Structure formats: structure tokens, C-alpha cells
Structure 1
């Protein structure tokens, strides 16, 4: 059997909030697997609809999974990070965009797809994420944020 490579099939937002100039937290969702030992933490992401633009899909999916709307966040479309993972016999590509949540006190409404959510600093996020590519993405985005390289965004 050979594996197939699909085009981008999923998208998500790597959401952050600023606590101070150099203190940043990332929003991660805990998967809702049957056994607690199998659960892990991920940024919000999901499958794109047919012919859906990845950034529009990421915004739609984020609202569904967290309750955050495009009015709650700035999405930095120039900061896109591709994560590839193996799902059975297929490779899936996920485009993650960096996004800032304006209101640090905004209530997160975790969907039924996830059992919990947490805001985590970089060290905590890296300790709780299962996949090395996600950890690398978090480190890259932390550097972009703390070095003030954000520039323009889309709403």
C-alpha cells in the first residue's frame, strides 16, 4: 500500500494573548479522547469545507471550537505555519495562522469536541503538546510576538 499526500485539508489559529510586553499565553484545547491518558493539548483546528480558503476555514473552526469570533481576534495571515501529520494511510496538512485575542478576559466556550481549554505560556504549552512540529511552531510564534514583528493583520 502506498500513502497519498493531500493538499491542505485542515486549518486552525494559533491563538495568543498578551499579559505584558514579553509575557504571552497560547490557547490550547484538550482532546476529548475516551481515556484521560490518551488526551493531549492542541491549538484549535479542523477540516476545511470544499473550496474553502484556509484562513476563512480557520476562523469558522475557531468560532465553533472556542466561541471566539473574528471580532475578538486579529489574524496575521502573513504568519502561516504548515504542520504535516500521518493519519492512517494519508498525510494531512494543517495551515495554522497566528492570531491575537484582544480581550484577555473573553470567556472561552469549549465545544463538545474538546474536554477542556487552558491558556499556557510557552514552556507549559511545549510540555503539554504531543507533537514536535506544534512545539516548534509555538517557539517560532513566540519569537515573532516578543520581537514585535507582527505587522498587518486581516479581520
Structure 2
């Protein structure tokens, strides 16, 4: 089974919650949060940190990570089963620039419904709804 991990990163800007999505430079050029495959011997959480650094230029110190807010999505990629584990993370400095890797062509910060429309997958949209409940608590 294929396994990947990543963070659903949000920021609070002008009292709005916005989610970071990156557009892949390969395949169907889909939109996802920073994520990637778990390397042999690497923990899920360390993979999420590594992939976020590689794909978005963000270190653990840039994020407030909610380790208890996590969800695993199960789906098929090229007829192979895949699990992707996401954790919720808040960008500490909402103005911090995102540095894309060659794996992505563009980025967008989007409100919940916009992020759901762009991502377009039912299970991911449900995850965003759940995570949004937690993110909203950060604004209070």
C-alpha cells in the first residue's frame, strides 16, 4: 500500500481562515496541501515535516501543529491503494512567503468553500470541513 503524509495549513488573515493548496506540476495537475510519500524508516510525522519544507519552504517553527487533529484518507492511485495522513497546522506568520518546489506550479490561499471547489474530492472536502471546525476555534 502506498503511504503519504502532510499538513493542511491554514492562516488567519483579515479575520478570514485561508487554506494553502499547491498545484502539482505532473499528472492531472491536481491541487493538494503539501504532502508526500513516507521514506523507508521515516515516521509519518517526520515525513509531513520534510515534505512541507521541500514543497512549501516551511519549517516546523513556522507552524503551530495540532497533532490531535488528524485524519487518514484512503483512495486509489493507478489501481493501487493509498493512505494519506493529514494533520492540521496554522501558519504562525500569515505573511510568511511560500517557496514552491519544482513539484508544483502555483499556490493559492483559499477560504473553505473555494479550497473545496478547487480540490474537488469528496473525502478531502469532508476532511476540510472537520479541520475547519478546529481552525475556527483558533480565531477566538
Instruction: Say whether 1:108 aligns with 2:98.
Output: yes
Match of 2:50 in 1: 60
CA deviations over 1:96-126 (Å, ceiling 9, x no partner): 0001110111110111001001110101101
User: Is the CA contact (8 Å cut-off) linking 1:9 and 1:94 kept in structure 2?
Assistant: yes
User: Is the CA contact (8 Å cut-off) linking 1:82 and 1:94 kept in structure 2?
Assistant: yes
Q: Which has the larger radius of gyration?
A: 1
Could you list the runs of 5+ residues in structure 2 that have no partner in the other structure? Answer: none
The offset of 1:147, in angstroms, is 3.4
Match of 1:40 in 2: 30
User: Is the CA contact (8 Å cut-off) linking 2:20 and 2:109 kept in structure 1?
Assistant: yes
TM-score under structure 1 length normalisation: 0.83
- CA-based RMSD of the aligned residues comes to 1.7
Distance across 2 between alignment mates of 1:15 and 1:90: 27
Match of 1:153 in 2: none
Mapping of 1:43-122 within 5 angstroms?
43-122=33-112
Count of residue correspondences: 139
The offset of 1:133, in angstroms, is 1.1
TM-score under structure 2 length normalisation: 0.92
The offset of 1:75, in angstroms, is 1.2
Could you list the runs of 5+ residues in structure 1 that have no partner in the other structure? Answer: 1-5, 149-155
- Larger helix proportion of the pair: 2
Q: What is the DSSP-based 3-state SS (H/G/I as helix, E as strand, rest coil) of the residue aligned with 1:117?
A: strand
